[in-house]
């Protein structure tokens, strides 16, 4: 069955069109657009009109593409920013009514579970690390941990300067270590780790020296702790305008990549990891598997809250 999976993330809105057979996901097309849906949510607890408009414009393009490629089911899953926003459910109701997508608001644990399912067999004996814009999920054997260590959230909280100061970086590092110490049980250990989502794949691309991002090179690349430290120091020293021009880094990811790199560094230190393997298989693949299990769509009444979110 051909399906479309949409990830309504805090920093990015992503599309995967794939053919699904049992647990096998064959990619047909993929799109990633940085929309910053979670902009301001940490402080205001609301999705703001401008980020909503950015997402709606992207979804209009995505719908044309998935229809042209014959997707039979579409599932749009929302994560941290929508969870935290008072108008999050109303926003999803509007998305369902406006675009005809089935939507689902994921809990942190569900987000972790779908990420593990998307990574597949490779993640079953590894710690899977998913650094998102609003949250970071740590998934191990029988453990699903969702924290508020998101790159957008932490940038807004701790890194107001351009470029960030040493004191700001130190404060962010200390805050990250505190969250890990409080929320990660001592029984959770890791001999190997797989990292998913934009922070880790972007750092992998930079470590590889790619001029343009290439997922085939990034997937499976092993990112060492020394490489993470080197890229963090390099990026944190640059003003945002220069960071946007770094080859291999998506310009719109530049505002939040430093916070994401701090989170990755602290996670690797916490678990004593010498390296982490970058993966292009992530929650989008898990969403695609869920989309294949949806019933055939039928037209109905407007979902509760449609057209009331903004």
Alpha-carbon Rg for the chain, nearest whole angstrom, is 19
pLDDT of residue 123: 62
Alpha-carbon distance 137 to 116, whole Å?
10
pLDDT of residue 191: 87
Alpha-carbon distance 290 to 20, whole Å?
10
Domain 2-108+287-292 fold: Nucleotidyltransferase; domain 5 (3.30.420)
DSSP state letters, 151-164: HHHHHHHH--SSSP
Which residues on neighbouring strands pair with residue 268, listed in sequence order? none
pLDDT of residue 305: 42
Q: Where are the domains of the chain?
A: 2-108+287-292, 119-284
Residues of the chain where predicted confidence (pLDDT) is lower than 50: 301-308
Is 119-284 in the same CATH topology as 2-108+287-292? yes
Cα torsion 276, 279, 284, 288: sign: negative
Considering the domain 119-284 in this protein, what is its CATH number?
3.30.420.150
The count of other CB atoms within 10 Å of the CB of residue 24 is 10
Q: What is the dihedral of CA 251, 255, 258, 262, to 10 degrees?
A: -130
pLDDT of residue 213: 86
pLDDT of residue 306: 46
The C-alpha angle with vertex 192 and arms to 186 and 193, in degrees rounded to 5, equals 85
**pTM to 2 decimals?**
0.87
pLDDT, tens digit (0-9, with 9 covering 90-100), for 188-205: 888 899 999 889 999 999
Alpha-carbon distance 201 to 191, whole Å?
20
- In this structure, the strands spanning 127-131 and 136-140 are antiparallel
pLDDT of residue 126: 86
């Amino acid at each position: 069955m051909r399906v479309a999976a949409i990830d309504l993330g805090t920093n990015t809105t992503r599309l995967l069109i794939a053919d699904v057979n049992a647990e096998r996901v064959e990619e047909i097309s993929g799109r990633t657009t940085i929309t910053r849906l979670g902009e301001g949510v940490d402080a205001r607890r609301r999705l703001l009109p401008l980020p909503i408009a950015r997402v709606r414009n992207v979804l209009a393009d995505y719908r044309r593409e998935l229809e042209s490629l014959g997707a039979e089911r579409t599932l749009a899953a929302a994560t941290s920013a929508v969870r935290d926003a008072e108008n999050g459910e109303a926003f999803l109701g509007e998305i369902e009514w406006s675009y005809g997508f089935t939507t689902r608001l994921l809990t942190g644990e569900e987000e972790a579970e779908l990420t593990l399912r998307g990574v597949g067999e490779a993640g079953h004996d590894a710690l899977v690390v998913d650094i998102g814009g609003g949250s970071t999920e740590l998934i191990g054997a029988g453990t699903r941990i969702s924290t508020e260590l998101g790159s957008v959230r932490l940038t807004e909280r701790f890194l107001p300067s351009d470029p960030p100061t040493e004191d700001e970086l130190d404060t962010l590092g200390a805050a990250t270590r505190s969250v890990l110490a409080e929320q990660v049980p001592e029984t959770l250990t890791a001999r190997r780790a797989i990292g998913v989502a934009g922070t880790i794949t972007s750092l992998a691309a930079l470590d590889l020296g790619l001029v343009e991002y290439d997922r085939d090179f990034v997937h499976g690349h092993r990112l060492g702790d020394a490489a993470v430290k080197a890229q963090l120091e390099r990026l944190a020293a640059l003003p945002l305008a220069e960071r946007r021009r770094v080859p291999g880094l998506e310009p719109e990811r530049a505002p939040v990549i430093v916070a994401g790199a701090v989170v990755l560094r602290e996670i690797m230190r916490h678990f004593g990891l010498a390296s982490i393997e970058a993966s292009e298989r992530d929650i989008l693949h898990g969403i695609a598997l869920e989309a294949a299990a949806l019933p055939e769509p039928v037209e109905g009444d407007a979902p509760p809250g449609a057209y009331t979110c903004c």
